[in-house]
């Protein structure tokens, strides 16, 4: 035999090979917290009527949606939002 066997012939080596210590998984990479006031790019599905309502005044419709949502979470009535229907 020119090549040695791939399996350990010593029972102690075989046991140690079978029960190798488990490698600790790498810690998950944490993203740095977003800076305050920075907008995040997201994708949402909204009704066509809602989109038309905010786009009818032209450019800036995303800002108007953001303002309406911000006012909704603050409990304020929306100016130019969906409450005008």
Is the residue at 64 inside a domain?
yes
Is 10 part of a structural domain of the chain? Answer: no
Q: Is residue 43 in a domain?
A: yes
Give the range of the structural domain holding residue 52, as residue numbers without chain letter: 39-80
The total domain count for the chain is 1
Residues 6+ away with beta carbon under 8 Å from 78: 67, 68, 71, 72
Encoded tokens for 25 = 């998984």
| Assigned domain for 50 exists | yes
pTM above 0.75, yes or no: no
**For residue 19, is it within any domain?**
no
In a domain, 49, yes or no: yes
Q: How many angstroms separate the Cα of 37 from the Cα of each of 5, 34, 47?
A: 64, 9, 27
Give residue-wise pLDDT tens across range 20-73. Answer: 777 777 888 887 777 787 888 889 999 999 999 999 999 999 999 999 999 999
* 18 inside domain: no
Q: What is the DSSP string of 13-40?
A: HHHHHHTPPPPPPPPPPPPPPPPTT---
Which pLDDT score, from 0 to 100, does residue 18 have?
A: 77
């Amino acid at each position: 035999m020119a090549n040695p066997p791939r399996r350990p012939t010593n029972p102690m080596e075989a046991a140690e090979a079978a029960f190798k210590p488990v490698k600790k998984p790498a810690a998950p990479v944490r993203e740095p917290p977003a800076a305050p006031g920075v907008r995040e790019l997201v994708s949402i599905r909204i009704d066509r009527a809602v989109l038309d309502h905010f786009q009818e005044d032209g450019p800036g419709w995303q800002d108007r949606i953001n303002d309406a949502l911000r006012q909704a979470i603050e409990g304020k009535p929306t100016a130019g939002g969906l409450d005008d229907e």
